[in-house]
Amino acid sequence: MPQIFHHSTNTLAKLSIFGGLFVLAAAIWALAEVNRSSYNTGQFIERQQPVQFSHKHHVGDDGIDCRYCHTSVEVSNSAGLPPTRTCMNCHSQIWSESPYLEIVRASYKENKPIEWTRVHDLPDYVYFNHSIHVAKGVGCSSCHGRVDQMPAVYQAASLQMEWCLACHREPERFLRPKDKVFDMAYNGDNALAENTTDEQRRVGREMKEKYRVRSTAVLTSCSTCHR
């Protein structure tokens, strides 16, 4: 029987198969990189707010504690946003005539809340409780980054599931004493870094036992975050 295909066809077939596998692998890699990119997660993107509010000035320079504005962070699933009267506690006396704060004064007079642009927004199918994290020794900067150095707040972490699981698998890398939870400059804070110091692991193990943090199996269970 005469040969229908040329011998080179075998080589072309092999190259096509391996080439197709390479293209598929490259496409999967590119998709994974896009999924982790700021374009998809919103990480590192500053959000413009209706009022030019600087956390760097209020927290970093003036030393205002997180809880002064986010009053429910220790007792509720939500950290809460401050009512306008909280702003006016100071700004009825300081910069009381500044044009930058006209929106704040109008909000206070008209009793209408300022429509802030949300920075950290988890999907509706994710359950997150601020109070339990605070109670177990998770610092504000562990998730939100050095807010005291941000003129305009941005999302410091990806907030993707793999980022959450990195902490839930090894909470000792991130836990700190409760009196340091609101300390933005806490030396043991390595949550946004790839490496964790031995000292942080030692402190973290102590805090994990002291605050009765649940086992890794419970922390990584689907029902813990998806209810």
For residues 150-171, give the mean pLDDT.
95
Model confidence over 168-225: pLDDT tens digits?
Answer: 999 999 999 999 999 999 975 555 555 678 889 999 999 999 999 999 999 999 999 9
Model confidence over 55-66: pLDDT tens digits?
Answer: 999 999 999 999
Do 195 and 133 fall into the same domain?
yes
For residues 117-127, give the mean pLDDT.
93
- Write down the pTM of the prediction: 0.83
**How is residue 12 written in tokens?**
């072309």
Do 76 and 96 fall into the same domain?
no
Do 25 and 131 fall into the same domain?
no
Integer Cα distance of 191 and 214 in angstroms: 19
Is 46 inside a domain boundary? Answer: no
**Which pLDDT belongs to residue 38?**
85
Strand partners, 154: 46
Residue for token pair 């998730």 = 143
Is 143 inside a domain boundary? Answer: yes
Do 132 and 177 fall into the same domain?
yes
Beta strands, E only, the chain: none
Integer Cα distance of 219 and 214 in angstroms: 6
Q: Quick one: residue 226, left, alpha or beta (phi over 0 = left, psi -120 to 50 = alpha)?
A: beta
Q: Which amino acid is at 160?
A: Q
Q: What is the Cα gyration radius of the chain? A: 25
Contact criterion met (CB below 8 Å) for 81 and 116: yes
> Which of 22-26, 29-33, 117-121 is most confident?
117-121
**Which pLDDT belongs to residue 22?**
83
Is 47 inside a domain boundary? Answer: no
Contact criterion met (CB below 8 Å) for 172 and 201: yes
Is 44 inside a domain boundary? Answer: no
Range of the domain at 12: 8-36
Q: Per the structure, how many domains does the chain have?
A: 3
